[in-house]
Amino acid sequence: MIATEPMLGVHTSKTAKLYVITGPAGAYFNTFAPVSLLADPQYIRASKGGVGEFKMGCNYAPTLKLGEIAEKKGCHQVLWLVGPEHYITEVGAMNFFMYWKNEQGEDELITASLDNGKQRVTVSSLLQQIQFLRCWSSDAPF
């Protein structure tokens, strides 16, 4: 999105033009086998109070170098952590949820809060296809 007012400067624009660029895309990974993730709390993707909760290009440009480091270490992608508690935020540019067998041996799908529209739609769609899973969602940081 770019401003379309005939002015040079920094201010909120009253008019803008939205560009949408699309292209074909295949599977993110070529297999359904488990992927390995690099989780290193010394690197952060977004800071509190910033624009990290939005899918904006400016949030991903700084992550490219760590993606290269992950690849050199034999990892497929980066698992982004935040804060002293090392909460999970996302994997690469993807929302994150986890399927596992809990301590009682039950199949479980764990996800961050489903308050966010995109995350909610993604997980809801998945759950419609695999109704046998119990879904646990946390309103606390994931």
- pLDDT for 74 equals 94
**111: nearest Cα among 99, 93, 94:** 99
Does pLDDT of 36 surpass 50?
Answer: yes
Does pLDDT of 51 surpass 60?
Answer: yes
CATH architecture of 95-142: 2-Layer Sandwich (3.30)
- In this structure, which amino acid lies at residue 25? A
* Domain spans of the chain, in order of start: 35-87, 95-142
- pLDDT for 116 equals 56
To the question of pTM greater than 0.75 for the whole model, the response is no
Q: Look up tokens 């990974």; give the residue.
A: 29
Q: How much is the mean pLDDT over the chain?
A: 77
Using CA atoms, how far apart are residues 142 and 105, in angstroms rounded to an integer?
22
pLDDT tens for each residue of 112-126: 666 655 555 666 676
- pLDDT for 70 equals 95
